């Protein structure tokens, strides 16, 4: 096929209010910031991507995009080499660099698939599923506004407040038919988490629930808590404690699978995780891993060594949400439901609404991602933008 030259890249940093307050062990927030990528080829086709919306990632994406103008969108490995280098050893930009690359990379994949007149899933491998089960996150606590850590822990000290989270979960069932949930933990009170998870299982006995303290419990506290929770039959403990050694020690003490999206986020961390038998599940995040090739490679490698891969995401636009649907459709090793949080975003940048019905999302029809940008919505949400041309 003829070269698919890249003629321009437009980056728009957006800020999107959430319809709820996200409370967890890492932060309490009421908005999500993303960088939307529009990559146009010399043939006139435009591909879409998005990534983290911090000023640092926006700046790196701008820097990287300058080196992509005139290059071939088909030559993904040359594009990576031009940004992060040939290996993770050469990457001097860290995880922000991988995230910036991933946003551009997604747009290049979308533009390429459109040019070939196939869906993104087909370009990745095959379009095997049209309907994907998705997971609703649950905040550690139900708050009316973003609060300080001291205010959050004071709320958690009142154990009767767990009922607010249960009611919130039941509301997601009524609205969207969710059967899969991820409880974010503030990692403050094991008694709160134990009580809340028991109440969630009692209220929704058929639900699959994963528990995520974002590695903010120490190994001894986390192990003691997870041993108490073992009888609940949770889907998995996601980063219940920190570092690979801490995860391995906890995993040896419980029957419930242990997962991570924090301690295995690049190729060279897979081998020690496998040797140490540190986890059962590796959650691949498109932006932490640095693009589609890296996530696909992780899924195949993890599966070959007896680990289960899954897809991680948090407060992304419809662009990334749809990209994860294509990944789940194309890569059979992804058997767990997809993380999804688009239903908590007060607005989106896509022209086509992406909805959750009966706990599932549908793969869009059409070439590439199968979606289009709504420029009016994008402009309304924009914080800053830049155009990169030759």
For 24-52, what is each residue's pLDDT tens digit?
Answer: 999 899 999 999 999 999 999 999 999 99
Confidence tier at 89 by pLDDT (50, 70, 90): low
From 239, 295, 292, 247, select the one nearest 267 (Cα to Cα).
295
Whether residue 182 sits in one domain with residue 137: yes
Would you state the pLDDT for residue 81? Answer: 85
Q: Is residue 225 part of a domain?
A: yes
Whether residue 251 sits in one domain with residue 348: yes
Residue, of 285 and 92, whose pLDDT is higher: 285
Matching residue, tokens 């038919």: 177
Whether residue 25 sits in one domain with residue 171: no
339's CB contacts (< 8 A; 6+ apart) are 134, 135, 137, 182, 283, 311, 312, 313, 314, 324
Give the tens place of pLDDT for each residue, 110-162. 999 999 999 999 999 999 999 999 999 999 999 999 999 999 999 999 999 99
Would you state the pLDDT for residue 1? Answer: 55
154's CB contacts (< 8 A; 6+ apart) are none
What is this structure's pTM? 0.96
Q: Distance of CA 292 to CAs 239, 255, 277, 286, Å? A: 23, 32, 25, 6
Give the tens place of pLDDT for each residue, 285-333. 999 999 999 999 999 999 999 999 999 999 999 999 999 999 999 999 9
Does pLDDT of 358 surpass 80?
A: yes
Give the range of the structural domain holding residue 134, as residue numbers without chain letter.
Answer: 123-362
How many folded domains does the chain comprise? 2
Report the DSSP beta bridge partners of residue 382: 14
Q: How many CA atoms lie within 13 A of 110 on its CB side?
A: 30
Whether residue 137 sits in one domain with residue 74: no
Whether residue 172 sits in one domain with residue 270: yes
Whether residue 217 sits in one domain with residue 301: yes
Does pLDDT of 203 surpass 80?
A: yes
Q: Is residue 283 part of a domain?
A: yes
Whether residue 208 sits in one domain with residue 165: yes
Whether residue 290 sits in one domain with residue 159: yes
36's CB contacts (< 8 A; 6+ apart) are 11, 12, 13, 14, 48, 49, 50, 317, 319, 349, 373, 378
Whether residue 46 sits in one domain with residue 145: no
CATH code of the domain in which 159 resides: 3.20.20.120
Matching residue, tokens 């649907």: 325
């Amino acid at each position: 096929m003829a070269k698919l030259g890249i003629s321009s890249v437009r980056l728009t940093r957006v800020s999107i209010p959430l319809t709820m307050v996200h409370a967890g062990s890492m932060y309490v927030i009421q908005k999500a910031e993303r960088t939307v990528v529009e990559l146009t080829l010399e043939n006139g086709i435009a591909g879409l991507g998005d990534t983290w919306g911090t000023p640092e990632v926006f700046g790196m994406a701008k820097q990287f995009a300058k080196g992509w103008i005139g290059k071939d969108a088909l030559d993904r490995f040359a594009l990576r080499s031009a940004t992060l280098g040939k290996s993770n050893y050469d990457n001097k930009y860290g995880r922000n660099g991988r995230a910036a690359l991933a946003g551009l990379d997604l747009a290049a994949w979308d533009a390429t698939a459109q040019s070939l007149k196939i869906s993104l899933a087909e370009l990745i491998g095959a379009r095997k599923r049209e309907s994907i089960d998705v997971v609703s996150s649950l905040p550690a606590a139900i708050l009316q506004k973003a609060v300080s850590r001291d205010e959050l822990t004071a709320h958690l000290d009142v154990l009767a407040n767990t009922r607010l989270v249960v009611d919130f979960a039941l509301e997601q069932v009524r609205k969207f038919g969710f059967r899969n949930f991820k409880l974010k933990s503030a990692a403050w009170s094991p008694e709160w988490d134990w009580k809340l998870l028991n109440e969630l299982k009692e209220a929704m006995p058929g639900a699959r629930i994963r528990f995520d303290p974002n590695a903010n419990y120490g190994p001894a506290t986390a192990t003691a808590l997870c041993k108490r929770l073992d009888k609940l039959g949770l889907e998995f403990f996601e980063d219940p404690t920190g570092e690979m050694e801490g995860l391995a020690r906890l995993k040896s003490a419980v029957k419930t699978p242990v997962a991570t999206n924090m301690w295995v986020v690049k190729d060279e961390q897979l081998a020690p995780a496998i040797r140490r038998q540190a986890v059962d599940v590796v959650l691949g995040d498109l932006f932490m891993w640095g693009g589609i090739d890296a996530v696909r490679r992780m899924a195949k490698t993890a599966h070959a060594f007896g680990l289960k891969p899954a897809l991680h995401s948090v407060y992304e636009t419809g662009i990334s949400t749809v990209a994860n649907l294509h990944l789940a459709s194309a890569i059979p090793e992804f058997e767990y439901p997809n993380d999804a949080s688009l239903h908590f975003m007060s607005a989106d940048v896509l022209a086509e609404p992406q909805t959750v019905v009966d706990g599932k999302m549908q793969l869009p029809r059409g070439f590439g991602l199968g979606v289009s940008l709504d420029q009016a919505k994008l402009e309304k949400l924009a914080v800053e933008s830049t155009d990169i041309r030759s």
